[in-house]
Amino acid sequence: MTAALPPAQGRLRSLAPLVVLTAAAGYFLLPLWWLFVASTKSRGDLAVTPGLWFSDLALFGNLKDLFTHEDGVYVRWLVNTALYAGLGAALATLFSAMAGYVFAKHRFRGREAAFGVVLAGVLVPPAALALPLFLLFSSAELTNTYWAVLVPSAVSPLGVYLARVQVEAAVPDELIEAARMDGAGEYRIFFAIVLRLVRPALVTIFLFQSVAIWNNFFLPLIMLTDSDLYPVTLGLFSWNTQVLGDPDLTRLVVAGSLVSVVPLALAFVSLERYWRGGPLAGGVKG
């Protein structure tokens, strides 16, 4: 009996972790699978057929309706989202790199105090600032414009922190000094040398900030009233609130959710080698 146990026990011990890992994979994938299946169904099938398997294929009809509903407003939302999350994150990344470089390589009075304030900013979630931002923007009559979402999106205290850590780790002082000896100006040093050496960190900051902008629902919700300015998230939310009056919208919310996930998922998979080192690589230090 005892002689027979060890191999079986050994197999169980090596199998159990796999079971746990697979079960977890199921948990994380199941809702996405449901979303994919549901977006292929007609309105009738959506309500009556089993949720986790296909019935008659209505995907293309759903997509056509999604892109043409209300004169194709969904396409506009996609473009707006690309503008907010793409341009906003790109600007935030550039500004963070510039500031991070200064904090890492230049000495000036009050540097650590200023950096402390920036770090405190990391701890302030963007949603908490949305309300006072709204009050300020409305006194400047800037609410309900692209600027209302874009300007706050171009700031990333976390990005400044990550950029500083990375510049300190990846850019040797000797290199900067040598470039200076050769007569390179400060801007040239930054754009030609520093940015190139910290490129992986820039991708991380960009991804982070675009997810943060994507996820900051409070800001567009409070700032924007014109649906032409909505990002996808707010647009889908607004459709979802009208579902009771127009049940057919459910189909579009489902298909629209699926389509909205695709671009960022592709970005994450294609940039996997950058975040594989850890989304906060360099930021987690003892």
- Contacts of another protein in 203-242 (CB under 8 A): 211, 214-215, 217-218, 221-222, 232-234, 236-237, 240-241
Q: How far is the CB of 261 from another protein (least distance, A)?
A: 5
Distance separating alpha carbons of residues 265 and 9, to the nearest angstrom: 40
Minimum distance from residue 62 beta carbon to another protein (Å): 14
Rounded to whole angstroms, the Cα distance separating 226 from 237 reads: 14
- CB closer to another protein, 2 vs 270: 270
Q: Is 201 in the site for another protein (CB under 8 A)?
A: no
**154 vs 15, 87, 114, 174, CA distance in Å?**
47, 8, 19, 32
Of these, 160, 195, 201, 255, which contacts another protein (CB under 8 A)?
A: 160
Alpha carbon distance 103, 124 (integer Å)? 20
What is the size of the binding site for another protein (CB under 8 A)?
101
Distance in angstroms (rounded) separating the CA atoms of residues 271 and 263: 12
Choose which of 25, 57, 79, 192 interacts with another protein (CB under 8 A).
Answer: 25
Q: Half-sphere exposure of 218 toward its Cβ, with a 13 Å CA cutoff?
A: 12
What distance in Å separates the CA atoms of residue 58 and residue 102, rounded to the nearest whole number?
55
CB of 61 to another protein, least distance (A): 19
Nearest distance in Å: CB 87, another protein: 14
Which residue in the set 136, 192, 196, 199 belongs to the binding site for another protein (CB under 8 A)?
136
CA distance 144 to 137: 9
User: What's the rounded Cα separation, in Å, for the pair 184 and 127?
Assistant: 42
Q: Which residue spans within the chain are E strands per DSSP?
A: none
Choosing from 77, 84, 152, 205, the residue that interacts with another protein (CB under 8 A) is: 152
Distance between CA atoms of 40 and 44, rounded to whole angstroms?
A: 12
CB-nearer residue toward another protein: 82 or 127: 127
Q: How far is the CB of 154 from another protein (least distance, A)?
A: 6
Binding range to another protein, per CB under 8 A, among 4-12, 34-42, 56-64, 65-73? 34-42
Minimum CB separation of residue 121 from another protein in Å reads 5
Q: Using CB under 8 A as the criterion, what x/- string covers residues 82-111 for binding another protein? A: ------------xxx-xx-xx-xxxxx---
- Dist. CA 185–CA 64, nearest whole Å: 54
Contacts of 47 (CB under 8 A, 6+ apart): none
Residue choice 51, 64, 70, 248 for contact with another protein (CB under 8 A): 51
